[in-house]
């Protein structure tokens, strides 16, 4: 809500230079940013209109947290920083879940927050509408927080936000945008390219690189451990070159689950693939790329890593020098950007005599057989044709077999995600999910943000598939309207058990079956296909496993967004989660 004067102040006025709002867009454009997510208030109407005039993809969601999640997905799919806008006061408060998520997920999103003019902020004990001091609320959750107090600070504040967000371990930054500066004029030269004001594509030290090459030449059973940053820096092509040179397995961390084109068959999810465990245990060299070596990887020194530890060497490519040696010791640290360091390694190894991993062909064959066996095993589970709904394993296999090869896969949910780790039949080149923070409900804004940003960057509208659960889908179901508004070819397959599946399982494991499961069950009257139709999307209700694939095919053929409601077995979701014992080792408090 705003008074009449605020609305009047928002009207365009003639300027003689470059107004601050245009300069902000210039600075972001220099970084290759082409998308903008947020709900405009009077501070931003000029900026939004200018961005759309310039051909940006400008998206107003229905909740500011969703705007932040959309921007986060945009940064992941584009390999660039992204921008989210928050309305002053309650808008920035609503944005906080996304800000905190970007901090934990290491996502370089620039959050731009509106604010009252400083003369209003500094009033003494006057009732101020829609006002709260925002920086103290936000600064502990971002890498950098700054405010454009004077127009001629615009360049330095925006550049510092991007510089800090993209340096070391990436993360979010906050820029406050007070009302008194938005229309002030600047007389400035063209915006600098990124490499002119910050370090980009930092290569590794030459001596350390030579040491790494010698370790690789001596290795008999090398593996590559590929983390989240391989995907977010768009380093897949370079990773492929390195993997083929070494002729070795690629082990995915929980965050590095996007498969690289051309090496899908030699890429294995850590811990959830039988082959990945064997490859880790037998390895005598690990080339770790763009990973925190955190709890899901057992810090690279616990569980599967214990055996053969005495004979294993580590090469660690890490942009943040303060992360070296924290979670485990390493033999050769290569401090630099994976965008630059992987090509350095490839160039240094060209022409070298490398024997290759002796079991790579066997690993590839075994993994392919395991995926096939899991599909066949899932076929024996409930198919929904009787009194019991579809088994979750069957739900996942049928849905992922219908995944389009050029698509973007988005994952959300609790038990649904655990089943996907094990039973996934697809090998997508782009996978987006909330792997570190565990913030469920991000799936729909992630899907829309990723698909819109990918289209803005490439000019091609790729299909998307969101695999989610009912509980998670309801978090931001309003953003289905964005998918309809933008006519996105997004298929949302919702596994419905009308409960918090993971939490029900914890109740039963703690107290036994038959006890009260307080706070975990909800109405079984919801029909997600009907909700979709109410938003203007297509909806289908599928109660038999054999009908999931055809429903997905119809959805893509029809175009636009579709929600497919699939009833799944609540008992299976709560009690029979595959390899749950492996997942729980991530939470082994104090033992790693």
Domains present along the chain, CATH in parentheses: 4-196 (3.40.50.970), 206-359 (3.40.50.1220), 381-587 (3.40.50.970)
Beta strands 313-318 and 285-289 are: parallel
Q: How far apart are CA 312 and CA 223, in angstroms?
A: 11
Write down the pLDDT at residue 589: 65
Write down the pLDDT at residue 7: 39
| Cα–Cα distance list, 124 to 4, 116, 127, 135 (Å) | 23, 15, 9, 19
| Three-state helix/strand/coil letters over 124-146 | CCCCCCCCCCCHHHHHHHCCEEE
Q: How far apart are CA 76 and CA 73, in angstroms?
A: 5
Going by C-beta distance under 8 Å and a sequence separation of 6 or more, which residues neighbour residue 589?
Answer: none
Please provide residue 435's backbone torsions phi and psi, each rounded to the nearest 5 degrees.
-85, -25
Q: How far apart are CA 70 and CA 93, in angstroms?
A: 17
Contact between residue 165 and residue 175 where contact means Cβ atoms under 8 Å apart: no
Write down the pLDDT at residue 126: 72
Walk across the sheet containing 464-469 and list its strands. Answer: 430-432, 408-411, 464-469, 490-496, 562-567, 538-541
Annotate 509-527 with b (16+ C-beta within 10 A) or e (fewer). Answer: eeeeeeeebeebeeeeeee
Going by C-beta distance under 8 Å and a sequence separation of 6 or more, which residues neighbour residue 141?
Answer: 96, 99, 100, 103, 172
Q: How far apart are CA 158 and CA 161, in angstroms?
A: 5
Contact between residue 251 and residue 226 where contact means Cβ atoms under 8 Å apart: yes
Q: How far apart are CA 103 and CA 170, in angstroms?
A: 8
Q: How far apart are CA 131 and CA 448, in angstroms?
A: 30
- The helix, strand and coil proportions of the chain, stated in percent and rounded to the nearest 5, come to 45, 15, 40
User: Quick one: which of 568, 586, 492, 495 has its CA closest to 533?
Assistant: 492
SS3 assignment, position 483: helix
Helix (H) or strand (E) holding 198: none
Write down the pLDDT at residue 591: 59
Longest dimension (CA), the chain: 76
SS3 assignment, position 294: coil
Cβ count near 66 (within 10 Å): 31
Token pair, residue 243, equals: 């993997």
Contact between residue 413 and residue 450 where contact means Cβ atoms under 8 Å apart: no
**Residues of the chain under the 50 pLDDT cut:** 1-15
Token pair, residue 423, equals: 């039973």
Convert the pLDDT of each residue in 464-496 to its tens digit. 999 999 999 999 999 999 999 999 999 999 999
Return the half-sphere exposure (C-beta side, CA atoms, 13 A cut-off) of residue 487. 3
State in Å, rounded, how far the first CA of the chain is from the last one: 51
Helix (H) or strand (E) holding 101: helix 90-105
Token pair, residue 64, equals: 């500011």
Contact between residue 497 and residue 441 where contact means Cβ atoms under 8 Å apart: no
Write down the pLDDT at residue 170: 97
Q: How far apart are CA 256 and CA 430, in angstroms?
A: 10
């Amino acid at each position: 809500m705003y008074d009449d004067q605020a609305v009047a102040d928002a009207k365009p006025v003639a300027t003689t230079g470059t107004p601050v709002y245009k300069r902000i867009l210039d600075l972001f454009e220099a970084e290759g940013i082409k998308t903008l997510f947020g709900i405009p208030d009077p501070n931003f109407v000029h900026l939004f209109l200018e961005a759309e005039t310039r051909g940006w993809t400008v998206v107003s969601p229905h909740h500011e947290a969703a705007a932040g999640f959309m921007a986060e997905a945009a940064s992941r799919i584009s390999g660039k920083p992204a921008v989210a806008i928050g309305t002053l006061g309650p808008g920035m408060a609503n944005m906080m879940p996304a800000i905190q998520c970007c901090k934990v997920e290491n996502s370089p999103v620039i959050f731009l927050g509106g604010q009252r003019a400083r003369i209003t902020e500094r009033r003494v004990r006057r009732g101020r509408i829609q006002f709260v001091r925002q920086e103290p609320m936000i600064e502990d959750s971002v890498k950098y927080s700054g405010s454009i107090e004077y127009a001629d600070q615009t360049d330095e504040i925006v550049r510092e936000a991007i510089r800090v967000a993209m340096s070391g371990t990436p993360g979010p930054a906050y820029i406050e945008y007070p009302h008194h500066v938005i229309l002030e004029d600047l007389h400035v030269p063209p915006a600098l390219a990124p490499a002119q004001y910050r370090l980009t594509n930092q290569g590794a030290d030459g001596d350390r690189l030579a040491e790494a090459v010698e370790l690789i030449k001596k290795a008999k059973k090398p593996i590559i451990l590929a983390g989240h940053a391989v995907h977010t820096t768009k380093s897949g092509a370079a990773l492929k070159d390195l993997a083929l040179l070494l002729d070795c397995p690629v082990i995915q961390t929980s965050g590095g689950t996007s498969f690289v084109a051309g090496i899908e068959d030699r890429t294995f999810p850590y811990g959830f693939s039988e082959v990945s465990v064997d490859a880790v245990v037998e390895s005598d060299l690990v080339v770790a790329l763009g990973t925190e070596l955190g709890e899901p990887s057992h810090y690279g020194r616990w569980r599967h890593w214990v055996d053969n530890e005495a004979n294993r060497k580590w090469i660690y490519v890490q942009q943040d020098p303060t992360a070296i040696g924290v979670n485990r010791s390493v033999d050769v640290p290569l401090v630099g950007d994976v965008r630059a360091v992987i090509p350095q390694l490839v160039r240094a190894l060209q022409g070298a005599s490398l024997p290759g991993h002796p079991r790579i062909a066997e690993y590839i064959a075994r993994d392919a057989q395991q995926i096939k066996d899991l599909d066949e095993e899932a076929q024996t589970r409930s198919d929904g044709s009787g009194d019991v709904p579809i088994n979750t394993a069957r739900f996942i296999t049928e849905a992922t077999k219908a995944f389009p090869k050029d698509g973007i896969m988005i994952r959300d949910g609790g038990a649904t995600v655990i089943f996907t780790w094990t039973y996934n039949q697809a090998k997508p080149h782009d996978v987006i999910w909330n792997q570190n923070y565990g913030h469920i409900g991000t799936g729909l804004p992630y899907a829309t943000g990723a698909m819109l940003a990918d289209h803005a960057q490439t000019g091609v509208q790729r299909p998307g598939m969101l695999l989610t659960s009912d509980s998670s889908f309801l978090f931001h179901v309003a953003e289905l309207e964005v998918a309809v508004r933008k006519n996105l070819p997004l298929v949302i397959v919702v596994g419905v058990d009308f409960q918090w599946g993971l939490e029900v399982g914890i109740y039963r494991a703690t107290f036994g079956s038959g006890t009260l499961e307080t706070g975990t069950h909800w109405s079984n009257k919801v029909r997600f296909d009907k909700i979709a139709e109410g938003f203007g999307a297509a909806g289908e209700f599928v109660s038999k496993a054999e009908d999931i694939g055809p429903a997905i095919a119809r959805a893509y053929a029809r175009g636009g967004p579709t929600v497919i409601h699939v009833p799944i077995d609540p008992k299976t979701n709560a009690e029979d989660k595959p390899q749950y014992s492996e997942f729980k080792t991530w939470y082994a408090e104090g033992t790693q």
